[in-house]
Structure 1
Amino acid sequence: MIRLHCTKKLLAKLPLREGGRLKNKRPSHYPANEGDESPLSGWHANLILLQRRQCVLLVHDATRFPVFIPALKKADFAELDYWFADGFMNALLKTGADDVLMDCAHAALGPLVCDTECDRSVQGTMNRMAQDIEHMLWYEDASVMDLARAGHEEITACRREHVGCGEVRTAPFWDVARNRLATVRFLRHHTLHRMER
């Protein structure tokens, strides 16, 4: 299972069973009694409204690796397991992850278990990323749907700043390569540790 710490705003949208699991309509690939936490466990998630569309931004607690899920409809919230897995695997792919890492990440995926425990440091990072996404949409006059098709690095790596006299500078807000390396180390360490048991 993957522990997901949700904001109250997001938790109100999620149809949950007892224990915090989602009421999925699709058949689940995961066992119903799975109790062990995955090496990928520990995410914070927030519901953000961009251009009148509901989007979810998830940030991993240890590595601050983001997953952005744009334009969700009411029925999609019950399928957040699916959307998270899809968004996470696509984010890894777009940051240049190799096949070994992709296989490790896929094997470590599990059902989401939601709660309201929050870490203010992670929430601050998540809020900053949300502001950068909003700024990018406004500055580039883009659509949220365009952002869904954009590369992961475009979403997370840069923030455009006005320097003066109309000049624009791209400032690295979050070093994707550094955090990708941290995510790779994190996954490999926990996957190898589990195999040794």
Structure 2
Amino acid sequence: MILCCTLKLRKVLDPSENILSDLEPSPNEWYANLIWIQGRKCLLASHAGTMFSVFAPDIRLSDIRPIGKFLVPLIEAQLDSENLDRQTFGQLDPSCVVVTSTADRSVLGRMTDLALSCEYIVERDGGLKNIDLKDLHYFIQRNITNLADYQQPVKLAAEWGKED
């Protein structure tokens, strides 16, 4: 699994993370960003080809070191909650996550929009301690993306890799 991390996130990852030099963008990559909501660190990760995303509120830096052991179960849990096969995006092995820098500005822009949506939902729910994560994930998986012909990420994920 290739994880394209923002500089902000790469700076706080475990120094032993497997880090690659810059790569050409690919729709198979995952993007991750460390965002601040209500003064707390949160993690937002999105699959570049579908914008299928996961959000983790109020994390500690020790939670995400190493990043694969934190992120892969989060993605698998979200796939399970959407009744999607855990192999939807290929083998997700927590010990085989490779970190690189972000390369696709359109994915980053879409993630910025998702971060704002997450912040809105947190505020609407009365803060991070009251957030309904199931509701938040339901929203972001169905929030139409213009990266792929204005379709919902959950529907794109359900079809991902089937045309091969």
TM-score, scaled relative to structure 2:
0.77
Percent of pairs with identical residues: 24
Is 2:60 the partner of 1:73? yes
Contact 1:94 1:152 in 2 (8 A): no
Which secondary structure does the structure 2 equivalent of 1:20 belong to? coil
Alpha carbons of 1:44 and 1:54: their partners in 2 closer, same or farther (altered >3 Å)?
same
Partner of 1:47: 34
RMSD: 2.9
Residue identity opposite 1:174 in structure 2: I
- d(CA) in 1 for partners of 2:89 and 2:160? 14
Return the offset for 1:90. Answer: 1.5
Residue identity opposite 2:71 in structure 1: F
Contact 2:68 2:97 in 1 (8 A): yes
Is 2:47 the partner of 1:60? yes
Return the offset for 1:87. Answer: 1.2
- d(CA) in 2 for partners of 1:43 and 1:130? 15
Return the offset for 1:48. Answer: 0.3
Partner of 1:85: 72
Is 2:151 the partner of 1:181? no
Return the offset for 1:55. Answer: 1.0
Residue identity opposite 2:6 in structure 1: T
- d(CA) in 2 for partners of 1:124 and 1:106? 22
Partner of 1:114: 99
Alpha carbons of 1:18 and 1:57: their partners in 2 closer, same or farther (altered >3 Å)?
closer
Residue identity opposite 1:109 in structure 2: L
Is 2:17 the partner of 1:12? no
- d(CA) in 2 for partners of 1:144 and 1:56? 15
Matched length: 153
Aligned match for 2:116, one of 131, 152, 170: 131
Partner of 1:32: none
Structure 1 unaligned residues grouped into runs of 5+ = 22-39, 158-172
Q: Deviation per CA, 1:153-189, whole angstroms, max 9, x where unpaired?
A: 04544xxxxxxxxxxxxxxx427x8322321222445
- d(CA) in 1 for partners of 2:108 and 2:5? 10
Which is richer in strand? Answer: 1
Point out the structure with max Rg over C-alpha: 1
Return the offset for 1:18. Answer: 6.7
Which secondary structure does the structure 2 equivalent of 1:108 belong to? coil
Partner of 1:162: none
Structure 2 unaligned residues grouped into runs of 5+ = 21-26, 146-150
Contact 1:5 1:115 in 2 (8 A): yes
